[in-house]
Amino acid sequence: MNGFPEVRILSAEESERAVDASALLDEIARGFVDYSAGRVAVPPVGHLGFDDPPGDLHVKYGHVRGDDVFVIKVATGFPGNVARGLPTGDGAMLVLDARTGLLRAILLDHARLTDLRTAAAGAVAARALARRDASVIGLLGAGVQALLQLRLLAHVTPARAVLVWNRTRERAESLVAEAALLGFNASVAPDAATVAATADLLVTTTAARAPLFPADAVRPGTHVTAVGADAPGKQELDPALFGRADLVVVDSRAQCADHGELSHALAAGVVRADTVRELGEVLADRVQRAEESITVCDLTGVAVQDIVIARHVLARA
């Protein structure tokens, strides 16, 4: 009546029910290839940090050239909410028409789609970079993201043994029980270094601001995916690990050099930016890893992932 089209509004439950994990992994992979090929317009990430209590807000947005929609995503992370009995983050995605600029849909996803697309990126990286005969998955961190990483890794690796470490042992034990429901045989490790020394496929999912384990704990043949360092000041990996790695992969050179694990490695002088590959490049080139290689993938989260999962949900909801 007023010229504006009807706007679809989807709840977090509706959005999550619409996700087909196997299809999403393939779509996220294609999104990374498009991004690295320059087919996606992605402005710099907006970031607002808070000190008391600690927390942050991310604003990510972008457009895949030729698509009929573009996406704006806001997501918050306030880890202290656990003590208050509250979720640690919230968020929503706005889907707008690329021809008219008019709003098409609002995904009130409570950051669940952000969590899922992050886990999907981890699974895509593992599918491309981890050993095919990996048998032990190591998880540092035991929150929502750790469980989602397992859920999506189940689609890309035969490994079902899991070793978990978390600063709060009770949370690690809870994750072990949740992992069992997904078909994994999980146990709690005494420390992060034990996990790093045992895993064939190591995933770090914490809000740490200092390395969790020494670089020399990682064995040849191990793949490491780091997803926690998504804002300035965050760090999970020892920069020396980048010096040991045979292949360093990032989701975005610019983002990771600014505030990812790569930024710490560049500052330490243990890696050169021109030797780093983007995940989209690795996927497009079908890079093969040597059996005893150490590979590291630094994921800070790129707006193309939000575009892909928003399209995915709207097509299936």
Check 73, 117, 234, 253 and give the catalytic one: 73
Could you tell me if 76 and 89 are in contact, meaning their C-beta atoms sit under 8 angstroms apart?
yes
- DSSP H/E element including 39: none
Burial class (CB in 10 A: 0-12, 13-18, 19+), 85: exposed
Query: How far is 139 from 81, CA to CA, in rounded Å?
Result: 22
CA angle 67–69–74, rounded 5-degree value: 125
CB contact set of 294 (below 8 Å; sequence gap of 6+):
218, 220, 221, 222, 223, 224, 241, 244, 245, 246, 247
CA distances to 144, 192, 230, 237 from 139, in Å:
12, 9, 17, 13
- Give the count of alpha carbons within 13 A of 140, CB side only: 28
Between the alpha carbon of residue 33 and those of residues 9, 30, 289, the distances in Å are: 30, 5, 18
Catalytic status, residue 234: no
Active site residues per annotation? 73
